[in-house]
Amino acid sequence: MFAFIKRRKNLFLLIFALAIILIPLFVKNKYYIIVMNVIGLNTIVVVGLNLLIGFAGQISLGHAAFYGMGAYLSAILTTTYSFPPWPTIFIAMIATGMVAYFVGYPSLKLRGHYLVMATLGFSIIVHIFMVELDKITGGPSGFPGIPHLSIGKLIFDSDFKNFYLIWTFSFLSIFASLNLVNSRVGRALKAIHGSEVAANTLGIDTDKYKTKVFVLSAMFASLAGSLYAHYITFISPRSFDFYYSIQVVTMVIAGGMGSVWGSFFGSGLLTVLSEILHVAEKYNIIAYGAILTLVLVFLPEGILVGLYNLYQRRKIAALIERERDDGPF
Amino acid sequence: MGHSEIILKVYRLRKVFGGILALNDVSFEVKRNEITAIIGPNGAGKTTALNLISGIYPATSGEIIFEEKTISGLKPFHIAFQGITRTFQNLQVFQNMTVLENVMVGLHTQTRSGFFSCLLHMPIVAKEEKIVKKESYSVLQFLNLEKKTDWLSSSLPFGEQKRLEIARALAGKPNLILLDEPVAGLNVRETGEMSKLILKIREKGITIILVEHDMNLVMGISDKIIVLNYGQKISEGTPREVQNDPKVIQAYLGEG
């Protein structure tokens, strides 16, 4: 048990799990719980997206579309066609993953940032489908009446119940990402980021790895989308527009590219910020732009990692200072 | 595995970049467990030859046969799995990773766990991870880098980054290692250490192809030297034979 806790990764996970269990016992304000649920959903998307951005060095501006695909597939299949919800979440993830494969495979074979353009175009197309296929999707006015998820007699029909559901999946996505990052595959992805040529000559099929991690990150987004649909029970195209893609990319960068815990921090920080700025919704996008710029200029490692590094540097500087004082002079 | 004397055979290898003939029907053979050096003036096609053998560029024509298998036309990662790894003239260390992690990536060909098993941290992952760490430490020890395992590789001095690149290439247990200018930018002492290291690598039973400008090093440790000039092979033989070849002297010093 002690050896288990000694590993910092496991200690953080343990604290995180305890926090998830305890928070609803102390926080009785429903509004706070709703905000935290949104943070939990965003965390799933952002953790997945960070695998792509922070580890493989590729950028997607289409994650709103994958998030939306998960939501709409779950909504349509369970409501219109009476599919059972849990297997449908899985089906939606597979379907979204397949679509991501067809978007990612050709554009990741090209050198340079073609994936950005491909995903941008793709997300616009998906958004048009959501709006125009109104017989299937409900069009701009949205899709109502999506059933809540349930396990046996337990129906996840309140914000508090959904808190546990959503955060269980957030926990699992963080857990799985940490596993991936500290593994053969994670190192291969980091290596691709470091030097694609060198990675290739060491046996890493760089095209395949980039495509796979893109597909994986799309599946994370799809999962979050399905959970969102079953939680809110109503979805509309507005939630899955281009602005959401920008939001999640900002969360990855603010939290720290390549840091799994940073993703959690980034989605927390920026979700809360959006809530605070809710009164002035027009200025939301400006705030996001400003944060993105400021972070990239002053703390390119991300806020969490950047501040930690600053603290470390201070500590080392203080140590050197003290040694000087203790010296013979 | 066939254990013929010849580990690598290059036959009429040609590479054209745009209109420039970088390598013009070059043929040569590399003997198992020998040190073969490729030398020649700047622009002779030495690095191009390494890039073709390691698959970074496809050959325009010709054939490369490694361990009696044709490898020309394969992608670099396939060639790595066949047992050829390399270092680079302009360092390609993974700057964003620690020394240990760099070497661990070198063991990619020795391990199998994929996305799914890594996400779920299946038992095979833990088992492989243990082996990978152990092997990496022993490779780092071989290169005298064991005290710097947790350093970020970009914070190492230049000479150690060069050694790290060799460590990473050795970790994949290659039969043939390609060293592209291993002592470029090193001082006299470091160069001496590097030449000892290269001989130690050969002692492990690994075949070495070396591209290098430092003639003291090349003449001191090579079993065989191939001389290229303007993409053509102009001479080949032992260091002594090559040194006395008038064509080589002419290529390096010009016509008197």
Question: Which amino acid would we find at residue A2?
Answer: F
Please give the sequence-ordered ranges of beta strands (E in DSSP) within chain A, or none if there are none.
Answer: 150-151, 154-155
Q: Are residues B71 and B136 in the same domain?
A: no
Judge whether B120 is closer than 8 Å to chain A, CB to CB.
yes
> Would you say A288 and A246 are in contact if contact means Cβ atoms under 8 Å apart?
yes
Confidence category of residue B215, pLDDT binned at 50, 70, 90:
very high
Q: Is the distance from CB of A163 to CB of A33 less than 8 angstroms?
A: yes
* Residue B98 CB burial class (10 angstroms; 0-12, 13-18, ≥19): middle
Distance of residue B208 Cα from the nearest chain A Cα, in angstroms = 16
Q: What is the pLDDT of residues A275-322, one digit of tens each?
A: 888 777 777 778 888 888 888 888 888 888 888 888 878 887 787 777
Residue B226, CA atoms < 13 Å, CB-side half-sphere: 25
Element containing residue B122 per DSSP (H, E)? none
Residue A252, strand partner residues: none
Tell me the CA end-to-end span of chain A in Å, nearest whole number.
48
Contact A98, A84 (CB under 8 A): no
Reply yes or no on whether the pLDDT at A37 is more than 70.
Answer: yes
CATH of the domain at B126: 3.40.50.300
CB-based contact, B152 to chain A, within 8 Å: no
Clarify whether residues B156 and B184 are in a common domain: no
- ipTM for this model: 0.94
A200 touches chain B (CB under 8 A): yes
The torsion angles phi and psi of A318, rounded to 5 degrees, stand at -65, -40
Q: How far is CA A315 from the centre of its chain?
A: 32
* Amino acid A329: pLDDT: 46
Looking at domain A2-298, which CATH architecture does it have? Orthogonal Bundle (1.10)
Answer whether B104 sits within 8 Å of A187, measured CB to CB. yes
Written as one string, the DSSP assignment of A11-24 is HHHHHHHHHHHHHH
- Residue B60 touches partner A, C-beta closer than 8 Å: no
Q: What is the pLDDT of residue A299?
A: 85
pLDDT at B68: 93
Asked whether residue B93 falls in the same domain as residue B157, the answer is yes
Residue bearing the bigger pLDDT, B91 or A310: B91
Determine what percent of chain B is predicted with pLDDT higher than 90: 93
Please check whether residues B125 and B156 belong to one and the same domain.
yes
Distance, in Å, from the CA atom of B227 to the CA atom of B235, rounded to the nearest integer, reads: 5
Contact state of B109 with A203 under an 8 Å Cβ cutoff: yes
Sign of the alpha-carbon dihedral angle for A42, A300, A307, B158: positive
Higher pLDDT, B135 or A110: B135
Which chain A positions have a beta carbon within 8 Å of B169's beta carbon?
A: 202
Interface test with B, best of A47, A169, A177, A184 (most B CBs within 10 A): A184
Q: Are residues B179 and B137 in the same domain?
A: no
Query: Could you give the maximum distance between any two Cα atoms of chain B, in Å?
Result: 70
Closest CA to B233 of B247, B246, B243, B222: B247
CA distance B105 to A253: 26
3-state secondary structure of A125: helix
Measured CA to CA, the distance from residue A144 to residue A142 in angstroms comes to 6
Strands (E), chain B: 6-17, 20-31, 35-39, 61-66, 69-70, 84-86, 176-180, 207-211, 224-229, 232-237
Q: Tell whether B104 lies on the interface with A, counting CB pairs under 8 A.
A: yes
Is B93 within 8 Å of A195 when comparing Cβ atoms? yes
Residues B142 and B111 in one domain: yes
State the Cα–Cα distance between residues A62 and A118, nearest whole angstrom. 8
- Beta-sheet pairing, B6-17 with B69-70: unpaired
In which band, very low, low, confident or very high, does the pLDDT at A1 lie, cut at 50, 70 and 90? very low
Pair B91, B164 in one domain: yes
Question: Where do the DSSP E strands lie in B67-122?
Answer: 69-70, 84-86
| Residue among A194, A202, A212 minimizing CB distance to B108 | A202
State the total domains in chain B.
2
Measured CA angle at A124 (ends A123, A126), to 5 deg: 65
Interface with chain A: mutation pick from B75, B90, B92, B124, highest number of A CBs within 10 Å: B92
Give the pLDDT of residue B3.
Answer: 63
A204, B115: Cβ pair inside 8 Å? no
Mean pLDDT of chain A: 91
Which range (A82-86, A166-170, A253-257, B106-110) has the least confidence? A253-257
Contact B119 A203 (CB under 8 A): no
Strand pairing partners for B210? B37, B179
Last residue in a domain, options B173, B190, B212: B173
Residue A203 contacts B where some CB pair is shorter than 8 Å: yes
Judge whether residue A262 has pLDDT over 80: yes
Rounded to whole angstroms, the Cα distance separating B154 from B80 reads: 24
- Of residues B122 and A110, more confidently modeled: B122
Structural domain boundaries, residue B38? 1-83+175-256
CA distance to partner chain B, nearest, from residue A79 (Å)? 31
User: Of B111, B116, B122, which is closest to residue A97 (Cα–Cα)?
Assistant: B116
- Cα distances from A68 to residues A45, A125, B249, in angstroms, run 11, 12, 70
For position A319, what pLDDT does the model report? 75
Nearest of B229, B230, B249, B231 to residue B241 by alpha carbon: B249
Q: Distance, in angstroms, between B113 CA and closest chain A CA?
A: 7
- Residue that is last in its domain, among B131, B156, B173: B173
Q: B65 forms bridges with which residues in the sheet?
A: B9, B70
pLDDT band at A6 (very low <50, low <70, confident <90, very high): low
Using CB atoms, pick whichever of B56, B113, B168 lies closest to residue A183: B113
Give CA–CA dist A266/B66, Å, rounded: 50
Last residue of a domain, one of B119, B154, B173: B173
Nearest to A182 by CA among B128, B172, B168, B170: B128
What secondary structure does DSSP assign to A173-221, as a single string? HHHHHHHHHTSHHHHHHHHHHH-HHHHHHTT--HHHHHHHHHHHHHHHH
From chain B, pick out residues whose CB is under 8 angstroms from the CB of A179. 118-121, 125
Contacts of A184 in chain B (CB under 8 A): 108, 111, 113, 118, 125, 128-129, 132
Q: Is the pLDDT of residue A325 over 70?
A: no
Q: Specify the residue for token string 């090209």.
A: A110
Closest alpha carbon to A225 in A33, A59, A66: A66
Question: A108-112, A319-323, B91-95, B223-227: which range is least confident on average?
Answer: A319-323
pLDDT (0 to 100) of residue B256: 54
The per-residue pLDDT for A282 is: 74
Q: Report the alpha-carbon distance of residue A321 to residue A327 in Å, rounded.
A: 10
Residue A147 carries which DSSP code? P
**Rounded distance, CA B112 to CA B106, Å?**
13
Helix axes A63-75, A114-132, angle to 10 degrees: 30
A143-146 long-range contacts (CB < 8 A, ≥24 apart) are A143/A72, A143/A75, A143/A76, A143/A79, A143/A234, A143/A235, A143/A236, A144/A233, A144/A234, A145/A79, A145/A233, A145/A234, A146/A74, A146/A75, A146/A78, A146/A79, A146/A229, A146/A230, A146/A232, A146/A233, A146/A234, A146/A235
Whether the CB-CB separation of B204 and B198 falls below 8 Å is answered with no
Q: Mind listing the pLDDT tens digit for each residue in A82-134?
A: 999 999 999 999 999 999 999 999 998 887 789 999 999 999 999 999 999 99
Measured CA to CA, the distance from residue B145 to residue B160 in angstroms comes to 8
Distance between CA atoms of A51 and A260, rounded to whole angstroms? 8
